[in-house]
Amino acid sequence: MTDQRATNITWHQHHVTREDREKLLGQKGVTVWLTGLSGSGKSTIAVAAEEVLVSRGRLACVLDGDNVRHGLNKNLGFSPEDRTENIRRIGEVAKLFAECGVIVFTSFISPYRADRDLVRGIHPEGRFVEAYVSASVDTCESRDVKGLYKKARAGEIPEFTGISAPYEAPSRPELVLDTNRQSVEESVGQLVAFLEEKGYLSS
């Protein structure tokens, strides 16, 4: 009996592949990494793109501060080491979603090139799209939806990206969404068109 069970136990070992799931979903799994200053429009674009894709029958989701900072990464602070670990974990989770066939948008400032390159490096070729949501500090500060720039200028937020901490713009992003010059609709349209052209919206 024991032998028979042992045989059964190794009988079914066939891992479903990413391709199997992509065929099921009619799309390709990919991490779309939105990076840019606070107020550049990352989350707005991510949420709108998610909505457009789901309305078109594609499975998309967003990883952002709301569902990551208070969950997976709630035990991380804002030291340099913790910021790097924050991005590393998000990258690993995004990779798992992409492997599952999901189109996952991540919305984090992620100011350091090395951190983003590390995330790129764990993804297979073509499964990581770095989308630079480009807006100047002036533009972001003039929006200041959350009042963070005001606080940062007053010295109430230390190491605020763009004011008192650096932002390293991507050197070779797959996509630049220039929100200085175009509306959210235009940026979302550009992003979705890119995904369509590159074949991510079919399996």
Query: According to CB under 8 A, which residues from 133 to 192 bind its own copies?
Result: 139, 142-143, 145, 179, 183-185, 188
Task: List, as one string, the DSSP characters of 50-91.
Answer: HHHHHHTT--EEEEEHHHHTTTTTTT--SSHHHHHHHHHHHH
List the one residue out of 67, 76, 70 whose CA is nearest residue 104.
Answer: 67
- Catalytic entry in 110, 134, 164, 183: 110
10 contributes a contact to its own copies by CB under 8 A: yes
Stretch that binds its own copies, among 15-23, 112-120, 155-163, 194-202 (CB under 8 A): 15-23
Alpha-carbon span 202 to 15, nearest angstrom: 22
Q: Write down the least CB distance from residue 6 to its own copies, Å.
A: 5
The answer to the question of residue 103 lying near its own copies (CB under 8 A) is no
Q: For its own copies, which is the closer residue by CB, 30 or 102?
A: 102
Q: Decide if 44 contacts 115 (C-beta within 8 A).
A: no
107 lies in the binding site for its own copies (CB under 8 A): no
> Residue count at the site for its own copies (CB under 8 A)?
54
* Interface with its own copies in residues 18-37 (CB under 8 A): 20-21, 24-25
Tokens of 68: 């990551």
| CB 76 within 8 Å of CB 82 | yes
110 is catalytic: yes
For 140, phi then psi, to 5°, come to -65, -40
Crossing angle of helices 80-99/113-122, nearest 10°? 30
Of 76, 84, 113, 122, the one binding its own copies by CB under 8 A: 122
Contact mark string toward its own copies, 39..78, x via CB under 8 A: --x--x--xx-xx--x--x-xxxxx---x---xx--x---
Helix/strand/coil (H/E/C) assignment for every residue in 10-33: CCCCCCCCHHHHHHHHCCCCEEEE
Q: How far apart are CA 72 and CA 101, in angstroms?
A: 21
In the complex, the residues that contact its own copies under the rule CB under 8 A are 2, 5-6, 8-16, 20-21, 24-25, 41, 44, 47-48, 50-51, 54, 57, 59-63, 67, 71-72, 75, 85, 89, 92-93, 95-97, 99-102, 122, 139, 142-143, 145, 179, 183-185, 188
Catalytic residue positions?
110
